[in-house]
Amino acid sequence: MKFKRKNLLLLTIDAFRLDHLSYTGYKKKTTPYLDKLCRKGFFFNQMIVNGPCTPPSFSSMFTSTYPFHQGGYSPLPHNKTTLAEVLKSHGYKTVAIHSTPLLSRFYGYDRGFDIFYDGMMSKDDSSIKKTLLNRFIDKGSLLNDAMNFLQSLNIPKRLQYYVQVAFYTKFIQRKEYYENAKTLLQKAFRWMKKYKSKQNKKPYFLWVHLMEPHDPYFPYNRFLKKVKARGLTIDEIEYIREHPEYMEILREYKMVNKLIDLYDAEIRYLDARLRRFFRKLNRKNRKWLKNTLTVITADHGEEFLDHGMFGHQAQLYDEILRVPLIFISNRLKKIKSKRFGKDKKKNSIRNIVNMRDFSPTILELLGLPQEENFDGSSFANFIFSPRKKEDDLIENGVFSETYHKNKVTRFSSSQRDSTIGRIISYRTPKYKYIIDEESMKEELYDLENDPSEKSNIVKKHPDLASKFKSKIIKHLKQSKKKNLKEIVEKKKISQAIGKIKINI
């Protein structure tokens, strides 16, 4: 089924775990507006991201490849075409608005965008800062080494936090850690208004990445009230607004409920900002989204000691891998009512899908031809045709992967540190298998009977475990990055025979 060529509005949300969207039955009313959008469009409830943090998830999303394949982790792989490049080649005006350093021009995320705002440089910046930043452009690997180094520092979390804040406030010169949803959505609205007034015939691709509810969580008091946060005192709330580093103390003392309240209040704030944004766009005299495909999703989730950690470190459990995905357009609305009749609630697509297939799906929904350079394939058929049969419970799975050292995220493999290991998971609708290259620990979970992945059944089902393990080995063989042991051996040989450069 083909669509007329239309605009694409892509809203991505950082660190938004699926089960905190109230549409999925979450006990707190975190997302009254997003719930409405879920009912209006098509909602996928098994979108699995290909990595547990921003770099692997976005690289798979925008270049349609698995993170370890084609060196596609961070920066964006040079040999892969990006979604923005494809849309630009089809005559789209391409615009990005965000304030996330990991998605900045230094990691190649500006590729294919006519206008790229990442909050990193402005006209007023000093020439020293501009020179310094420019030296890093296209040197994402240098930045990765710096990030790996920061992650490896054995200093208290609170101190690490101060280093980060100093970077953001002193170097990037932001008042706050990141630009909030209000600021970014206002920028997006202003751009749309200007573009519309030009009577331009070109369709557009506008990508906005929002940082709420990513940490540090410092929501306004009124949103804490809206999610009925009970654990925090007024004094604490006021203190957190002024001193977001207090969050690290809550983590140290394992104050899980207080942290969840803060996280949920950030989601509630985000929801309110989205409501405002969409209302402005949909006003009667505007109807700016009439010929637009709107897509809302997230890059990964967030953990609150579900598996012993906070945040989104190198773990591949569902609280981190499973995120919301919503497609909305007038055309989809018609298809939905044809498919599901009046029952508005029946629009969840339960098939398992993953970020590697995201860009091909977008192309199909926009009525554009597929891109040969993309590895994935479109899952739009799950929207157009009723679910014919259950997903194959074993064969139909997706991979997620990350670099780590002692379960702490690393931003790339590194020539300097050959002990950086990989964790890879294979997830099917029924099972999750995880293998850690560092400890060689294997885990297997029965997601139907144990959705929170608490009971490791790898010993009970060695047959299944070995089947999944061989799938992962086969998958890694396709990866451009070599096996770590191989890399170490090659390094030793090259050191022995002199200065021979090896590319890993």
Residues of this chain that interact with Zn ion (CB under 5 A) are 14, 54, 299
Q: 299 vs 375, which CB is nearer to Zn ion?
A: 299
Shortest Å, Cβ 411 to Zn ion? 12
Q: 59 vs 329, which CB is nearer to Zn ion?
A: 59
Contact between 216 and 251 under an 8 Å Cβ cutoff? The reply is no
Q: 320 vs 352, which CB is nearer to Zn ion?
A: 320
Q: 71 vs 301, which CB is nearer to Zn ion?
A: 301
Distance CA(119)–CA(101), nearest Å, equals 8
Shortest Å, Cβ 14 to Zn ion? 4
Shortest Å, Cβ 12 to Zn ion? 9
Q: 69 vs 312, which CB is nearer to Zn ion?
A: 312
Shortest Å, Cβ 225 to Zn ion? 27
For residue 401, the SS3 value is strand
Instruction: DSSP for 72-88, please give it.
Output: -SSS--TTS--HHHHHH
Sequence-distant (6+) residues with CB within 8 A of 397 are 352, 426, 427, 428, 431, 468, 471
SS3 content of the chain, % helix, strand, coil (to 5): 40, 15, 45
Contact between 248 and 161 under an 8 Å Cβ cutoff? The reply is yes
- Closest residue to Zn ion in the complex (CB): 54
Q: 58 vs 468, which CB is nearer to Zn ion?
A: 58
Burial class (CB in 10 A: 0-12, 13-18, 19+), 247: buried
Shortest Å, Cβ 345 to Zn ion? 30
Shortest Å, Cβ 151 to Zn ion? 15
For residue 462, the SS3 value is helix
Q: 15 vs 83, which CB is nearer to Zn ion?
A: 15
Interstrand relation of 398-405 and 421-427 (parallel, antiparallel or unpaired): antiparallel
Shortest Å, Cβ 99 to Zn ion? 13
Taking phi over 0 as left and psi of -120 to 50 as alpha, with beta for the rest, 228 belongs to: left
Gyration radius of the chain over CA positions: 22
